[in-house]
Structure 1
């Protein structure tokens, strides 16, 4: 049977007829027509009209190895032929998931021992909520059930993960539940006032102690946060922040849980972002870079302390997913991690390409009239729009300005993202100097065009 030849318009009509996209006004998109991406190679994508884009976001922070890795596709194909599916129910397991765990825990500090695999980061955080609460139940402290997150933090789109996250507009859509609380984000540029960054970092961390005391330490199960805030704007906390957060959690017997869905697997130049910031979480939520996005997979990593309680004292663990530890996903994850390790990609991000990206970004934007701050490390960065640098005054219409810049970026053949008044980027970890030059050059053109078109400069 001959495959029908379809135009961009054909796909746009099908999309409008059958899909509801994430985080946008579907009616507006339907009137415009979705961009139809049909192929990718390394950091570049092509749409159905042949236009090339540099993907400065690794898809959604996930294609760490870039597009077009035949080795990952071949591994998936072989596993599909050998064992396309089996589950971890019925007292069974399979080789690939065990080999994945062996490899994963070889990368992690010795304090971690067990994993519960999921299909996504949202599910990993959903499992986190139940696992943490079960842990305290086993220890005869069932009242320790409140989970504290951060305003503007993001932990997923399932009901529990939405409540854990701090996106108010998501809560308004029925996404808030009892048993969750939030503290402010460590966003010095917006919230620091007259304090220097380190003093603000301590003040922001102190909000956790205040909240724990307000709720009652005997009722607080865990504090959950991203090492740096991803969807909230690639916000990097001051250096003083995480050590103080850890001290507070230990003082009040509150679990410290790191959402490594974006930061994990080399993004900062360390295998996991908490290592860059120098703290020791009790759990790690992982996904995205685990398979470089080639197939869905996530997981919750547990410390030995938590795992021992669950295994030795917990009895039946009444939680499970049909596709937990899926053999094809596990096979791809193994190949992905081996590539990141054996090809020296994480080391390259730490010692070469990461510092290079941060250097050329600052050379391009430190003195730019529209940019008040540049944040980032490794292959993740953010540009803060500002009306007045000296006072850190932000534009009143910063959301519209950043969205305009994002739109102009697409016109320039660049995919970066806007969040509030920040332009954020996270290119594939395999990016070379030439590709990073292209990323910064096109970003500069998009920022300059935005300033000219909106009469800001």
Structure 2
């Protein structure tokens, strides 16, 4: 039935107009035409309000990104002032603006592992897409034109542009789009609970995962493998922290084979794991880093690639062979987005948000762990201020529901009905990733609503004969 034939939405209402004109990302169009949109019109602090005025805890910080919550007046003010002063200037052919310069300098001062240069993008997808071009250019400049393959991981999410979607390892991002492209390889997700073998210790599992990468590099030929990309904590593919010693072992393999390490900190960057960057949490020493999301608390689109001086020098010297560094975006280093990002970083420091995260994350994780003994929960996993449950019909044997049963999406709908926005993940995971400003009291309310939805989901799967 065409949208114009529908009667359940009032004519010319926001819902009817949404269905008529707006193709949503990551949304089933047929289901959307039947059910209509969930319209949010306002936000304040950790709360958002729908078009009927109902209040929700935004338990996913939007898409893992609104670290300062909603309604931060300082960010609105600085955006307004920058729009009046200089709303736009391009960054091509030596042009610049002071606020982008200030932001680049600030990011380098905060970043781990001797990062030396910043290249601005508009999103995490663009940052990771740019990483591919950097890696390929880097090896062309080094006279190694065959060294181009990039290894990602199953269940990883690195974005949805063409190259970033090829790095991504979740099936839903590939269906119908003819990706991954050639040169993109994937290894097993380091999910110890799901992938570990009987009797295998966590460290032995990490060793096996590193050996798989080593074996793949050798099989493909070390002269053809250029880089390995990883989220320090896998996000949209399941919210999976790495097993102990994983990155230590993996980095040794990469170093042995002259393979670059790309850390995708788009979700984990800016305090989410209890350090400014998750590379500090897991002692990752990347050659390249991607950041976005909390860089501006999502108030305006901005992302970036950071690289070590060693990588930059190769790109710099490549100008002798290729001339200009011919890549970039119309809005790279956009002065308004850069001003908002810079003010976001100032707020983080002035309010000691890192100290706040460290003061509440223990309580957050402890309260999530209380669900570990629930009859519907196979695993609780997380770090810092995000965590997930994996729902299972048979937790003792790590059983999985038929995806058609939509158990996690059902629980997500129930949390929303109780005023908490959560997110269903592949494999019947259900995640929470609240704004970093959340308080102890608000965490308690969040968990009460989450618990109610979990119990209702348990009752549902029992009634449906799914357990």
Which residue in the other structure is 1:432 paired with? Answer: 439
- Whole-Å separation in 2 of the counterparts to 1:8 and 1:368: 45
- SS of the counterpart of 2:450? helix
Correspondent of 1:375 among 363, 378, 381: 381
**What are the superposed Cα offsets for residues 201-257 of structure 1, whole Å, 9 maximum, x if unpaired?**
221222111111111010001001111111101011211211111111001000010
- Whole-Å separation in 2 of the counterparts to 1:142 and 1:25: 41
Q: CA deviation at 1:7?
A: 7.5
Q: 2:66, 2:293 within 8 Å by CA — same for their partners in 1?
A: yes
Q: 2:127, 2:290 within 8 Å by CA — same for their partners in 1?
A: yes
Q: CA deviation at 1:8?
A: 10
- Whole-Å separation in 2 of the counterparts to 1:325 and 1:276: 28
- Whole-Å separation in 1 of the counterparts to 2:194 and 2:108: 38
Q: 1:385, 1:398 within 8 Å by CA — same for their partners in 2?
A: no
Change in CA separation of 1:8 and 1:60 when aligned onto 2, cut-off 3 Å = farther
Which residue in the other structure is 2:460 paired with? Answer: 453
Q: Is 1:80 matched with 2:83?
A: yes
Matches within 5 A, 1:303-322: 303-314=308-319, 315-322=323-330
Q: 1:8, 1:48 within 8 Å by CA — same for their partners in 2?
A: no
Unaligned runs of 5+ in 2: 1-8
Q: 2:112, 2:285 within 8 Å by CA — same for their partners in 1?
A: no
Which residue in the other structure is 2:393 paired with? Answer: 387
Matches within 5 A, 1:26-425: 26-109=29-112, 111-173=114-176, 174-194=178-198, 195-314=200-319, 315-350=323-358, 352-363=359-370, 365-397=371-403, 400-419=406-425, 420-425=427-432
- Whole-Å separation in 2 of the counterparts to 1:97 and 1:36: 34
Change in CA separation of 1:248 and 1:52 when aligned onto 2, cut-off 3 Å = same
- Whole-Å separation in 1 of the counterparts to 2:289 and 2:298: 18
- Whole-Å separation in 2 of the counterparts to 1:205 and 1:374: 24
- Whole-Å separation in 1 of the counterparts to 2:409 and 2:11: 24
**What are the superposed Cα offsets for residues 384-430 of structure 1, whole Å, 9 maximum, x if unpaired?**
11233333333344861111101111111110001121111110001
Change in CA separation of 1:66 and 1:136 when aligned onto 2, cut-off 3 Å = same
- SS of the counterpart of 1:366? helix
- Whole-Å separation in 2 of the counterparts to 1:361 and 1:92: 49
Q: CA deviation at 1:348?
A: 1.8
- SS of the counterpart of 1:333? helix
Q: 1:8, 1:36 within 8 Å by CA — same for their partners in 2?
A: no
TM-score normalised by structure 2 residue count: 0.93
Q: 2:19, 2:36 within 8 Å by CA — same for their partners in 1?
A: yes
Q: CA deviation at 1:89?
A: 1.2
Q: 1:399, 1:421 within 8 Å by CA — same for their partners in 2?
A: no
- SS of the counterpart of 2:406? helix
Change in CA separation of 1:425 and 1:317 when aligned onto 2, cut-off 3 Å = same
- SS of the counterpart of 1:73? helix
Change in CA separation of 1:421 and 1:445 when aligned onto 2, cut-off 3 Å = same
Q: CA deviation at 1:313?
A: 3.9
Unaligned runs of 5+ in 1: 1-5
Q: CA deviation at 1:110?
A: 5.2
Q: CA deviation at 1:175?
A: 2.5
Q: CA deviation at 1:179?
A: 1.2
Q: CA deviation at 1:45?
A: 0.5
**What are the superposed Cα offsets for residues 26-59 of structure 1, whole Å, 9 maximum, x if unpaired?**
1111111101100001111100101111111000
Deviates more, 1:438-447 or 1:70-79: 438-447
Q: CA deviation at 1:176?
A: 2.2
Correspondent of 1:443 among 439, 442, 450: 450
Change in CA separation of 1:197 and 1:110 when aligned onto 2, cut-off 3 Å = closer
- SS of the counterpart of 1:375? strand
- Whole-Å separation in 2 of the counterparts to 1:208 and 1:104: 31
Change in CA separation of 1:327 and 1:8 when aligned onto 2, cut-off 3 Å = farther
- Whole-Å separation in 2 of the counterparts to 1:342 and 1:40: 23
Cα RMSD over matched residues? Answer: 1.6
Change in CA separation of 1:385 and 1:281 when aligned onto 2, cut-off 3 Å = same
